[in-house]
Structure 1
Amino acid sequence: MLMHKVPVEIRPDETGRVKITDECGLACTFCHNEGTAVTADNRNVEPGQYTGTAGRTGRVSIYIATNGAQFLSARIEPGPEFALALAALRGSITTREIHFTGGEPTLHPRLPALVQQVRDMGFTVGLTSNGENGAAVLEECAGAGLDRVNLSVFGTTAVELAAVQAPRFASVGLAEAKIAALAATIETGLRSGIKVSANLVVSDSTQIPRALRIVEEYGRDVTIRFLVNLETEDHSRTAIREALAILDAVPVRHIITAGTSDERTRYQLPGGRTVYAKNIRPVRLPETCSGCRFNNATDCAEGYYGVRMYRAQDGPYMIGVCIRRMDICVPIGEFAMSRRAREIQAFRDDETARLTAQYPQLIPA
């Protein structure tokens, strides 16, 4: 195995993902929307009857038909209630980083204020973005303390991006504007001193040229991460290996996030550039995932990926642990006192100790 041939770094999971808005200007056909239904399309639908198929917005949420979601997500605003929710999360499980998700976080009208509040509470702040609005907000967010942005790259050309959009939005002209916006976001982020990474799913060998274009165009300044497509797993892994071979990539470090399914390998390229290949480990929570109907290699593609926070429409802050099982989300106050919070912390600690003992070439985090 690769991780035995290169030094291994164990990083305990200390991140909380926070869905700050449901708004998004793309309509990707594979979107899971952090497990929640598209709010704008389901406002008049009874809880438990939400639809994940394309409605007025053209957007989808692929797990809604089976994940039992019981609430719609609301926009999270900076202020005392958000501070109390973050404090409760940190008091329940070790949390040092807050990672904003959506929807599209850069469409939140008060994003810099949210970043500032989270930084003032002592957290590191990152976010995941499709790049559609970053040029307008990242400079101010950098001033507020944003540490990094992870860009999800769904196409390197307008034709590629349009191909994964709902029919209503599958316009090459619109996709060209989105591609230009992504480039502007990258430029703004780098100019503002934010760490910028680009996550690129490589589904099969036909996408190798796309992966190589991204490395060539952005790889000198942006951290490129190749991601496995779990629906085409074998073909995807083969394609990533081929791309790495073409790049003459040499593995230099394997990184495992103890307590979640995330792991990645860092590769050195000729000339000093680096790329990462990201993988999903088959990680499950020992109690929560035991007996789950999705606990198999086919249905549980993500594994246990960490804790997610939401704000329910006209309701409390909620904590979830699985986008396939939104029915087990609970209010933050209930989570803070729950057996599940203790299970998650114990699992993190146990995995950190076990993996540290397992790999003698351990690099201190």
Structure 2
Amino acid sequence: MLLHKVPVEIRPDDTGRVKIDDDCGLACVFCHNEGTPVTADNRDAQPGQYTGTPGKTGRVSIYLADNGARFLAARIEPGPDFALALAGLRGSIRTREIHFTGGEPTLHPRLTALVRQVRDMGFTVGLTSNGENGAAVLEECAQAGLDRINLSVFGTTATELAAVQAPRFASVSLAEKKIAALEASIETGLRSGVKVSANLVVSDHTQIPRALRIVQRYGHDVTVRFLVNLETEDASRQAIHETLAALDAVPVRHIITAGTSDERTRYRLPDGRTVYAKNIRPVRLPDTCAGCTFNNPRDCQEGYYGVRMYRAKGGPFMIGVCIRRMDICMSVGEFVMSQRAREVQAFRDDETARLAALHPQQVTTSHR
């Protein structure tokens, strides 16, 4: 991917992802929904009988057929219970940033209060969004302490967006409204001082024009990040390579998140703008992943990506380490006392030391 010898930056993982709600106004055919069932479609189902196929919402959870999910995700509300769960997470593994996911986080009716609570506890706060409601909430969230938003861009035209939606939502007119909402979210985020990134999966050479349009359309103010499609890995990598070549992009830094599968390369364009190419390293937890049936390149597509927090509907806060193995989620109380928490922290520390030895001229930082 145009990789030359560039400085390496090692960033020890210090992030916890928190699924704050399950609602979403899109129905993307590739959605993993953070490993959990679509709550609205499974309210009457018993654990073990959840379905990941489209119900009345039209949404999917692509790994649900065999990931062993045993709970529905409830909306997380601000308050003392959430504070205790976050304190438990931070007390068991080093955590400096909380990153909200969903569903769609901007649809949470008390998102600003959640941001403020997490920020008041001393965490940096980010979120991932499809942009459908950002214009309504990002200004207040920025005032409450939101640091960054990662926007998932599924199309630059209504036709492109409609093409990746479930049949009942594959409407060009609806997609036009969603794209307008995304643009309004970008404008609101930038105006409010939030760091805005746009994540774009480039699957093959047919999507190169779309990638170039996104850089042209958003790249002056937004950090564009190209992501590999692991279903079409070789074709995807080649397409990103060709996109970067078309942009005359020059690599300036390689960034590795020690303790997770995340890595990316930062490129500089001739006009001084920056784009990133993101990759997934084949990283596994040494004990938890060792005997897993999915521990192969075909089934374990995201590797070990980090720690996720959920709230089980009618139950406790839960901690997971893999969306392909939701059956190994445990309550926060169990996690705090578990060998798995110690394994995660030791893995982060060991990876940081190993990568530092491998790249003796590296820069190490705790900040993203």
> Structure 2 length as normaliser, TM-score?
0.98
1:91-240 → structure 2 map (5 Å cutoff): 91-240=91-240
Contact 2:4–2:251 (Cα < 8 Å) also in 1: no
- The equivalent residue for 2:41 is 41
Output the CA distance in 2 between the equivalents of 1:297 and 1:3: 23
Aligned-residue sequence identity (percent) comes to: 83
Runs of 4+ in structure 1 deviating by more than 4 angstroms, as ranges, are 1-4
- The equivalent residue for 1:64 is 64
**3-state DSSP of counterpart to 1:65:** coil
Letter in 1 for 2:118: V
In the alignment, is residue 324 of structure 1 matched against residue 319 of structure 2?
no
Output the CA distance in 2 between the equivalents of 1:59 and 1:252: 39
- The equivalent residue for 1:345 is 345
Contact 1:115–1:144 (Cα < 8 Å) also in 2: yes
Output the CA distance in 2 between the equivalents of 1:361 and 1:301: 30
Output the CA distance in 2 between the equivalents of 1:326 and 1:161: 29
Output the CA distance in 1 between the equivalents of 2:287 and 2:239: 35
- The equivalent residue for 2:334 is 334
Output the CA distance in 1 between the equivalents of 2:363 and 2:114: 34
Contact 2:2–2:241 (Cα < 8 Å) also in 1: no
Output the CA distance in 2 between the equivalents of 1:336 and 1:65: 29
Q: CA deviation at 1:361?
A: 2.5
In the alignment, is residue 87 of structure 1 matched against residue 82 of structure 2?
no
Contact 1:39–1:73 (Cα < 8 Å) also in 2: yes
- The equivalent residue for 1:17 is 17
Output the CA distance in 1 between the equivalents of 2:157 and 2:70: 38
Letter in 2 for 1:330: M
Contact 1:26–1:59 (Cα < 8 Å) also in 2: yes
- Listed one character per residue, the Cα deviations across residues 176-217 of structure 1 (whole Å, up to 9, x for unaligned) are 000000000000000000000000000000000000000001
Output the CA distance in 1 between the equivalents of 2:301 and 2:17: 18
**3-state DSSP of counterpart to 2:146:** coil
Q: CA deviation at 1:4?
A: 6.8
- The equivalent residue for 1:308 is 308
Q: Which runs of 5+ in 2 are unaligned?
A: none
Q: CA deviation at 1:95?
A: 0.1
Contact 2:99–2:125 (Cα < 8 Å) also in 1: yes
- Listed one character per residue, the Cα deviations across residues 264-310 of structure 1 (whole Å, up to 9, x for unaligned) are 00000011001000000000000000010000010000000000000
Output the CA distance in 2 between the equivalents of 1:234 and 1:273: 27
- The equivalent residue for 1:73 is 73
Q: Which runs of 5+ in 1 are unaligned?
A: none
> Structure 1 length as normaliser, TM-score?
0.99
Contact 1:153–1:200 (Cα < 8 Å) also in 2: yes
**3-state DSSP of counterpart to 2:90:** helix
Letter in 2 for 1:29: V
Output the CA distance in 1 between the equivalents of 2:341 and 2:17: 15
Q: CA deviation at 1:364?
A: 3.4
**3-state DSSP of counterpart to 2:277:** strand
Taking only aligned residues, the RMSD between alpha carbons, in angstroms, comes to 0.9
Output the CA distance in 2 between the equivalents of 1:125 and 1:363: 24
Q: CA deviation at 1:2?
A: 6.9
Contact 1:9–1:362 (Cα < 8 Å) also in 2: yes
Letter in 1 for 2:47: P
Contact 1:6–1:361 (Cα < 8 Å) also in 2: no
